[in-house]
Amino acid sequence: MKGLIQRVSEASVTVDGREIASIGKGLLLLLGVERDDSPSEAKELCRKILSYRVFPDEQGRMNVNVQDAGGSILVVPQFTLAADTSSGTRPGFSLAAAPELANSLYHDFLNITRNQMGRERVEGGEFGADMKVALLNDGPVTFLLEVSRKH
């Protein structure tokens, strides 16, 4: 499971011309689910993201996590993060989870995050939709976080 986090001043998702989710200060998370992922990877990635220190402290150093910064999270399912780009000029998607598994783990991730942060601080995109994602990247600060599968 992969999560591309971006520290944002604001972010939103629009589907069919209608805004379905938005946050102010916080993290925009693009979530990629791979075929061997399970709920344990969702839980571990959530723990990692919520504790990752990307917000400035009093000295301006990245030393504060999203929860302590009072931020929110907008989680957007992004199957292209699971692409194999190791060869050629066209991505392969053999590593990506099947839609049913990816949708289930996306919702698991949302529920875990909402349980940790509170429902009012976690928004989500729409799985399988053609989403328009808008953001004002703060920094810019962007990190790719991954958790390994446990066999």
| Active-site residue, 127 included | no
* List of domains in the chain: 2-142 (3.50.80.10)
Instruction: List the Cα angle 136/141/143 in 5-degree steps.
Output: 120
pLDDT in tens, 61-117: 999 999 999 999 999 999 999 999 999 999 999 999 999 999 999 999 999 999 999
Cα distance between residue 123 and residue 110, in whole Å? 8
Catalytic one of 6, 55, 79, 127? 79
| Active-site residue, 6 included | no
Task: Give the per-residue pLDDT at 151.
Answer: 44
Q: Residue 140, preceding bond cis, omega within 30 degrees?
A: yes
In this prediction the pTM is 0.94
Dihedrals phi, psi of 66, to nearest 5 degrees: -60, -40
